[in-house]
A and B are shown apart, each in its own frame.
Chain A
Amino acid sequence: MNSEYKKGITPMHLVISGVTAGVCIVLALFAIILVPVPGLPSASGFWIPAGFYFVFTLWFGIWGALGGHIATFIAMGYFSGYTLHIWLDGGLGDFIAPLVTLIIFRALKADPELKTKKDWITWIVSVPISSLVCGLWVHSVNLAFGIITPPFWWIGVVTYFLGDSAAIFIVGTPLLKTLSKYVKASPVYVEGIFS
């Protein structure tokens, strides 16, 4: 292949973050009031954008996760105000969660096309782990800001775990199965984490 081709981080990676953020902002705005959970702020019973930015992260590395992070912050802030709490809560949480899945996939060399048993197991196991990590983070932030109390912390974690996992499996799995082949053949696919 051509040695002149520039490897490493290029403007395309920034474009990925911008475009994926644009997509996920709209999805997040829609999902925020779709299934709210009483007693828990910032919790949606079915967080549709997660299905997208998890997949975007597996395809585009950290740039997809960055898109999800920006999207969640902008969308949540649109309804709840652009506070430090919102940024730390959903914004950072939705950056960390897909990265966990990405790291697991890359470490185990699993294929996002979900061709083999190993790929499927990696997907099925990594998603709940990531959702759990996200739930733990988000509700710890809510606790720190005094918005919830310790008994509700557990409820929040479980809701996040279930809500996010469901959305990621339901929305993300068909996207991965149908489009990964196409994405991998295109110049936008990121094989590593950064490039």
Chain B
Amino acid sequence: MALKTFLTYVPKDSKINKIHPVVKVSLLLSINIIAWLIEDPIILFLLFLIIIFNYKIFRIPLYGLKKFLLSTIIILQAIIVSYIFGSKIPGKNIYLILPWGTYVSEMTIIYIIAMSFRFTSMLLGSTLMLGTMRDRDIIYGVTCLHLPYSLAFIINLSFRNMGIFIEDYSRVRDAMILRGGKFSKGSFLEKIKNYIYLAIPLAILAIRRIIEISYAVEAKGFGINKKRSYYHDYSINLKNLILTIFILSLIPLTFICKIYFKIFIFPGVISMLIK
């Protein structure tokens, strides 16, 4: 049986469900920053493989990532186009010289590959951690980190209101269509005009909702006490704390390796292979 999480479905007995939200958040942060620091394509490729491997270990279906396909393609094409038309990375072979002075060498292509792995590692790593949490776990995680409860409250409310807004949007749009309004046909200006008309009742509905929700939460004592108590146990045990510290310490370690020991820089291991 699978649990519906924020971005995908996770088997109920997957070990990822046992990882404490604070550990997940620290992993998410570490993967992102480490991927950002590293420029060596081989290391980035290994990082990418490790993350994919973890999807297998935790039995998270990779097809759940298909929603990122379009955006991934857009970003990868951005990387490709940027570097091909706008970079000067010296290499042994120059394949293309452009009129404005930039050129394409074999190192340009390797750098593109490195940046692609950087981006996909960040994406996959974040999804592995964040996307396998249910929305209530995200709130739980924020609270565990002892961030102000107001942040958790705002995020909570935003999730709740998404669904309500979509319903409002559908109804208003339908009401306009029922009176001859066109959203798919007609000129660009006509369409824009209709969307602007749509914006007005949606904004009014949102404002009225704000007033009603405010009264409701105030009537439940929200914001009265500076210190609130918690129903669930948000404490973190020693094991998880040590794990968190270890994971986060990888960030400065990577930084030190890069700056002082010149590890993880471009082109890194590849240059030895090319030689």
Chains A and B share a contact (CB less than 8 Å)? yes
A15's partner among B75, B131, B213 (CB-CB below 8 A) is: B213
Q: How far, in Å, is B187 (CB) from chain A's closest CB? A: 14
Q: Which of B121-129, B176-184, B267-275 contacts A (4 or more CB under 8 A)?
A: B121-129
Tell me if A192 counts as interface (CB < 8 A to partner B). no
Interface residues of A in 144-168 (CB under 8 A from B): 145-152
Nearest A residue to B162, CB-CB: A22
B82's partner among A12, A25, A84, A149 (CB-CB below 8 A) is: A149
Q: How many residues of B contact A (CB 8 A)?
A: 69
- Chain A: number of interface residues, binned into ranges: 35 or more
Tell me if A194 counts as interface (CB < 8 A to partner B). no
| 0/1 string, B39-76, CB within 8 A of A gives 1 | 10000000000000000000000000001101110110
Tell me if A40 counts as interface (CB < 8 A to partner B). yes
| 0/1 string, A5-17, CB within 8 A of B gives 1 | 0000011101111
Query: Does B164 lie within 8 Å of A79, measured CB to CB?
Result: no
B159's partner among A11, A22, A148 (CB-CB below 8 A) is: A22
| 0/1 string, A157-195, CB within 8 A of B gives 1 | 000000000000011001100110011001110000000
| 0/1 string, B116-157, CB within 8 A of A gives 1 | 001100111011001100000000000000000010011111
Interface residues of A in 5-56 (CB under 8 A from B): 10-12, 14-23, 25-26, 32-33, 36, 38-42, 48, 51-52, 55
Q: Which residues of A contact B206 (CB under 8 A)?
A: 19-20, 23
Docked pose: A73 CA to B6 CA in angstroms: 14
Tell me if A62 counts as interface (CB < 8 A to partner B). no
Docked pose: A48 CA to B29 CA in angstroms: 30
| 0/1 string, B176-207, CB within 8 A of A gives 1 | 00000000000000001001100110111011
B residues whose Cβ falls under 8 Å from a Cβ of A = 7, 28-29, 32-33, 36, 39, 67-68, 70-72, 74-75, 77-79, 81-83, 85-87, 100, 102, 115, 118-119, 122-124, 126-127, 130-131, 150, 153-162, 164-166, 169, 192, 195-196, 199-200, 202-204, 206-207, 209-211, 213-214, 217-218, 222-223
Can you name 17 extra interface pairs (CB under 8 A) apart from A70-B154, A71-B158, A82-B130?
Answer: A10-B218, A11-B218, A11-B222, A18-B160, A18-B213, A19-B210, A22-B162, A22-B164, A23-B165, A80-B123, A81-B127, A82-B131, A83-B32, A84-B29, A85-B122, A152-B86, A174-B196
